[in-house]
A and B are shown apart, each in its own frame.
Chain A
Amino acid sequence: MPARLSTGRKIAWRLRGFAAILAASPACRSIPEGKVREMSQLEDAYRDLAEADGLAEVLDAGYGAFLAVLSVIQAHQDRHDDLFAAFVLAGGPASHGRFAIHAAPALSSAASARPIPDCGPRAVPSRDAADAIGRLGQLLVSKLTVAAAVAREPEDRRACTEAARHARALTSLFDGAPP
Chain B
Amino acid sequence: MNDRATFGDLAQQAVRHLEAINRSGVDGTGVIALTAEVQEFAAGLDRLLPVLDRYLADIAKSASVHDGTKLGPWERAALSAPAALRSARRHLPRPVPTRTWSSVQRTASVTREMGNAGRAMTAGRDLLHMHFTTTPGGIREPHSEWARIIESPRVNRALLAEVARWVRPLADRGIQLTTAAARQRGQLPDDLRAVMTACRCLTLLTTSVDKAHAAEPLLGYDVRELHAIPVSVLRPRRVPERGATTAGLCQGVADCAERIRRHAETEPENPAWSQTLTSESLSQSAASATTVSQHTAAILRALAGQAAVKDMVRLSQKMTAAAQAAERSEQDWLAAARGWYYTHIDAKAKISATAAETADLALWTGRLAHANPAWTPGSGSGHPARPLGEQPAEPEDLPQTVNALLKATAAITTIAATDYIQLRGAAQHGRLLVPVVRRGPSQRGTKGFDRAPIEHAESVLANYRSAGTASAQLNAALMGLAAELQPRRQLKASARSAARTAATVTGLHRDGTVPSENVGQPEKKADRPAMKDEAPGPIERILTELGVTDADVLNHGTALDADIGRVVGQAAHDTAPNRWNHAMRELKSVADTDFIVEHVLAGRGFPGAPQEPRPRGLAPLAPEQPQMEAGK
Which A residues are closer than 8 A to B by beta carbons? Answer: 29, 70, 74, 77, 79, 82-86, 88-89, 91-92, 94-96, 99, 102-103, 107, 109-110, 112-113, 115-116, 118, 126-127, 130, 172-179
A79-B294, A92-B287, A109-B447 are contacts. A99–B435 as well, Cβ < 8 Å? yes
Q: Find out whether the CB atom of B445 lies under 8 angstroms from the CB atom of A109.
A: yes
Whether B603 sits at the interface, judged by CB under 8 Å, is no
Q: Find out whether the CB atom of B362 lies under 8 angstroms from the CB atom of A103.
A: no
* A-B CB contact pairs (8 Å), 25 listed: A74-B341, A77-B334, A79-B294, A82-B380, A82-B381, A82-B382, A83-B377, A84-B294, A85-B377, A89-B288, A89-B377, A91-B283, A92-B283, A92-B337, A99-B279, A99-B449, A102-B435, A109-B439, A112-B435, A113-B437, A115-B631, A126-B380, A130-B378, A175-B378, A176-B379
Whether B363 sits at the interface, judged by CB under 8 Å, is yes
A161–B447 alpha-carbon span in the complex (Å): 19
Whether B280 sits at the interface, judged by CB under 8 Å, is yes
B294 partner residues in chain A, CB cutoff 8 A: 79, 84-85, 88
Whether B542 sits at the interface, judged by CB under 8 Å, is no
A175–B379 alpha-carbon span in the complex (Å): 8
Nearest CB in chain A to that of B239: its residue = A178
A107–B342 alpha-carbon span in the complex (Å): 18
Q: How far is the CB of B333 from chain A (nearest CB, A)?
A: 9
A102 partner residues in chain B, CB cutoff 8 A: 435, 447-449
Which B residues are closer than 8 A to A by beta carbons? Answer: 239, 279-280, 283-284, 287-288, 290-291, 294-295, 297, 327, 330, 334, 337-338, 340-342, 344, 359, 362-363, 366, 376-382, 435, 437, 439, 444-449, 630-631
Q: Find out whether the CB atom of B330 lies under 8 angstroms from the CB atom of A179.
A: no
B330 partner residues in chain A, CB cutoff 8 A: 79
Q: How far is the CB of B331 from chain A (nearest CB, A)?
A: 8
Q: How far is the CB of B346 from chain A (nearest CB, A)?
A: 9
Nearest CB in chain B to that of A92: its residue = B283
Q: Find out whether the CB atom of B378 lies under 8 angstroms from the CB atom of A173.
A: yes
Q: Find out whether the CB atom of A91 lies under 8 angstroms from the CB atom of B378.
A: no
A91–B289 alpha-carbon span in the complex (Å): 13
A92–B339 alpha-carbon span in the complex (Å): 10
Selected from A29, A95, A112, A172, the residue in CB contact (under 8 A) with B447 is: A112
Q: How far is the CB of B207 from chain A (nearest CB, A)?
A: 59
A127 partner residues in chain B, CB cutoff 8 A: 380
Query: Per DSSP, are chain A's interface residues mostly helix, strand or loop, or mixed?
Result: helix
Selected from B288, B337, B377, the residue in CB contact (under 8 A) with A86 is: B377
B295 partner residues in chain A, CB cutoff 8 A: 85
Q: Find out whether the CB atom of A89 lies under 8 angstroms from the CB atom of B287.
A: yes
Q: Find out whether the CB atom of A176 lies under 8 angstroms from the CB atom of B376.
A: yes
A110 partner residues in chain B, CB cutoff 8 A: 445
Q: Find out whether the CB atom of B380 lies under 8 angstroms from the CB atom of A88.
A: no
Q: Find out whether the CB atom of B283 lies under 8 angstroms from the CB atom of A96.
A: yes
Selected from A29, A92, A112, the residue in CB contact (under 8 A) with B284 is: A92
A84 partner residues in chain B, CB cutoff 8 A: 291, 294, 381
Nearest CB in chain B to that of A162: its residue = B348
Q: A103-B448, A176-B379 are in contact. List 11 more A-B contacts (CB 8 A).
A: A77-B334, A84-B294, A85-B377, A89-B288, A95-B341, A96-B280, A103-B449, A109-B446, A112-B435, A112-B445, A174-B378
A70 partner residues in chain B, CB cutoff 8 A: 341
Residue in A173, A176, A178 whose Cβ sees the most chain B Cβ within 10 Å: A178
Q: Find out whether the CB atom of B630 lies under 8 angstroms from the CB atom of A116.
A: yes
Selected from B340, B376, B444, B630, the residue in CB contact (under 8 A) with A92 is: B340
Nearest CB in chain B to that of A104: its residue = B447
B446 partner residues in chain A, CB cutoff 8 A: 109
Nearest CB in chain A to that of B331: its residue = A79
Nearest CB in chain A to that of B340: its residue = A95
Q: Find out whether the CB atom of B377 lies under 8 angstroms from the CB atom of A116.
A: no
Nearest CB in chain A to that of B292: its residue = A85
Q: Find out whether the CB atom of A79 lies under 8 angstroms from the CB atom of B444.
A: no
Nearest CB in chain A to that of B355: its residue = A92
Q: Find out whether the CB atom of B379 lies under 8 angstroms from the CB atom of A88.
A: no
A105–B14 alpha-carbon span in the complex (Å): 68
A118–B290 alpha-carbon span in the complex (Å): 22
Q: Give the top 7 A-B pairs by smallest Cβ distance, nearest first.
A: A109-B445, A85-B377, A86-B377, A92-B283, A82-B380, A85-B291, A113-B437
A70–B435 alpha-carbon span in the complex (Å): 15
A179 partner residues in chain B, CB cutoff 8 A: 359, 362-363, 376-377
B376 partner residues in chain A, CB cutoff 8 A: 176-179
Selected from A85, A172, A177, the residue in CB contact (under 8 A) with B362 is: A85
Q: Find out whether the CB atom of B630 lies under 8 angstroms from the CB atom of A86.
A: no
A102–B447 alpha-carbon span in the complex (Å): 8
A86 partner residues in chain B, CB cutoff 8 A: 377-378, 380
Q: How far is the CB of A88 from chain B (nearest CB, A)?
A: 5
Q: How far is the CB of A101 from chain B (nearest CB, A)?
A: 10
B366 partner residues in chain A, CB cutoff 8 A: 85
Q: Find out whether the CB atom of B631 lies under 8 angstroms from the CB atom of A29.
A: yes
A74–B366 alpha-carbon span in the complex (Å): 21
Q: Find out whether the CB atom of B290 lies under 8 angstroms from the CB atom of A88.
A: yes
A107–B445 alpha-carbon span in the complex (Å): 11
A74-B630, A89-B291, A115-B631 are contacts. A83–B380 as well, Cβ < 8 Å? yes
